[in-house]
Amino acid sequence: MTDLLRTAATEQAATLGSTFVGSEHLFLAWLMHGAGPAHEATTAAGLTADSFRTLLGSRAGPPARSANPDEGGFSSHAQRVITVAEEMAKGDGRETPNNDDVLLALIREPRGAVARALSEANVKPSNLKTLVRPKAPKQSSHARRDAAVAVPGSESSTPPEEQQQAKEPQQQRPPPQPRRERQAPPAPRERQAASPRQKRDPEIDDIPEPRAPERPRLPLPPKPVPMPKQQRRRRWSWIWLLYVAIPVSAWLWYSHGDPSQLFLAACVSIIPLAALISNATDHVAVRTGPMLGALLNATFGNATEVIVAIVALKAGYIELVKASLTGSILSNLLLILGLALFAGGLKQPTLRFSKTAAGMSAAMLALAVAGLILPSLLGTTTGEHHVTELSQIVAGILALTYVASLLFTLHTHKRLFAGGDEEALGGKPWPLFGAIGALAVATVIVAFESEWLVGTIVPVTQSFHLSQIFLGLIVIPIVGNAAEHASAIVAARRGKIELAVQIAVGSSTQVALLVAPLLVLVGFLLGREMNLVFPTFQVVALGIATVVSAIVTLDGESHWLEGLQLIALYALIGVAVWFI
């Protein structure tokens, strides 16, 4: 077996909390790293690494007994699969088996989770075998007989039954009778000349008459694996209606309309624009590769929040900007993650995801929140002295930590984060220049909408009797993260809970490690006193949200009640902010 499949199977077994490596982990490793017609057929049928990992996570019953550690931690069935694959490779003249050999060994006797997954996807093992190794054309009886006598004295060209009969003593079997062929009746003169007592010459009379050569049968094409009908997914079709708010907000701004109506129109306009920026960034990342794609995601992943914050910072709303940072982290950790767990838990009793990824995300988030809290603690202890300098130093450290996290997830330990896949764009990727153009246009429009939104903050707070802290903590983060809310919920409903958790926790980490340091730098360039000193209430809320979200995600399991608890905590914080 290839080292890649062996390593991937061992890692997936550890990720899923198994005490041994079974055949289901080998099949999961093949789904992650396989290639060829068989892999394309299973993917088209809906059997992917994510769906099979979800099936393994939802499988009920007592755990199977662990394997002997001296044998590499593989179960007895997994060891038989490896042995059969090695025999297949030796039969083909290869030293080590490849991915196809492992697949053929797995589907030779499908059992357990592998058989269940193939059955649910309506994929027959015989069809997979045909895709891996097409059937050879059948030979006629004469062709097989000619092949058997092609090499005189060679035992390999003779069937085993004939070899056994050849080894038996001659007296145990009667001599072969010459085959008599029906002779044509002789001519009248030949009948008169032939003597009835004339002896037959076996060397001449037993020669069979020549026959017409049989036409070889053409091999039948392999039967394709039945595939479900691909339905065109309509992704957020309702979002197209929200684009109407863009010309409405422009008309209200240039006609000096009601500020409250302009504020609502600008908020609604930002929602589809944020979704467009997110989609365009994903499509550009697919075209440019993982490293450049990660850089684009870091740049435009929170572009809407960054633009709104820069416009507000330029207008002098520093406390509003700080509240928007805190509110973005709280909405991602509590509201988005809670809605995703609640939506996914309604379809599955237990939601399982990677402990390794959850642990790294929780550690990174704790570090980021600590970096945001330390300047606040210094400000309450020693006053405003050296707070700005400390905020700039902390911002630089947090930015370097974010770069290190990208290197960890995309290069050194990318195998731990495989699949997230994973994730499909829901269709064919956009052309590169089309995606870049959509990204540029959406960014420019968001800049105008942010300018109009910030310009109505004072009249809106006076009309609705709201505080700037409430706008920054609750309203602006919900508007800016509406697209991510929808993405996480849709992913959780489709069973991709791993992707939903990455969206929620990853966005919080990105805000704390990248957006906050960026705003400190922008404040320095604009001559604004932008530091990382937050009010006590926001600091305590960040600490509570970080601890609760870590408790929920560190064990790698969750359910709908924990999602509801996160939503309830966010509602409690929102009610408390209302009275500030």
* pLDDT tens by residue, the chain, 580 residues: 567 777 777 777 777 777 778 777 777 777 777 777 777 777 777 778 777 777 776 654 444 444 443 344 777 777 777 787 777 777 777 777 877 777 777 777 677 777 777 777 777 777 777 777 665 555 544 444 444 444 444 444 444 444 444 444 444 455 555 555 455 454 444 444 444 444 544 444 444 444 545 555 555 555 544 444 444 444 445 678 888 999 999 999 999 889 989 999 998 998 888 888 888 887 877 777 655 665 666 567 678 888 889 999 998 899 999 999 999 999 989 999 999 999 999 888 888 887 877 888 888 888 888 888 888 887 777 666 678 888 889 889 988 988 888 888 777 766 655 544 444 455 577 888 888 898 889 889 988 998 898 889 888 888 888 888 899 899 988 888 777 778 788 888 888 888 888 888 888 888 888 899 999 999 988 888 888 888 889 989 999 999 999 999 888 888 999 999 999 999 999 999 988 7
CA distance linking residue 345 with residue 275, whole number of Å: 25
Identify the sign of the CA torsion 38, 44, 48, 51.
Answer: negative
Radius of gyration, alpha carbons of the chain: 36
Token pair of 560 as six digits: 């709908």
Helix, strand or coil, per DSSP, at residue 422 = strand
CA triple 499-500-506, angle to 5 deg: 85
Domains and CATH numbers, the chain: 3-59+66-132 (1.10.1780.10), 245-578 (1.20.1420.30)
Say if residues 62 and 244 touch (Cβ distance below 8 Å): no
Token pair of 550 as six digits: 């870590």
pLDDT value at residue 295: 61
Helix, strand or coil, per DSSP, at residue 352 = strand
Token pair of 491 as six digits: 């992913």
pLDDT value at residue 326: 92
Kindly report the number of other CB atoms within 10 A of residue 322's CB atom.
25
Helix, strand or coil, per DSSP, at residue 558 = strand
Helix (H) or strand (E) holding 213: none
The 8-class DSSP code of residue 539 comes to H
* Torsion angle of the four alpha carbons 45, 47, 48, 53, in this order, in degrees rounded to the nearest 10: 160
Say if residues 480 and 328 touch (Cβ distance below 8 Å): yes
Each residue of 243-280: pLDDT tens digit? 899 999 999 999 988 998 999 999 899 888 888 888 88
CA distance linking residue 346 with residue 489, whole number of Å: 12
Say if residues 340 and 496 touch (Cβ distance below 8 Å): no
CA distance linking residue 421 with residue 525, whole number of Å: 39
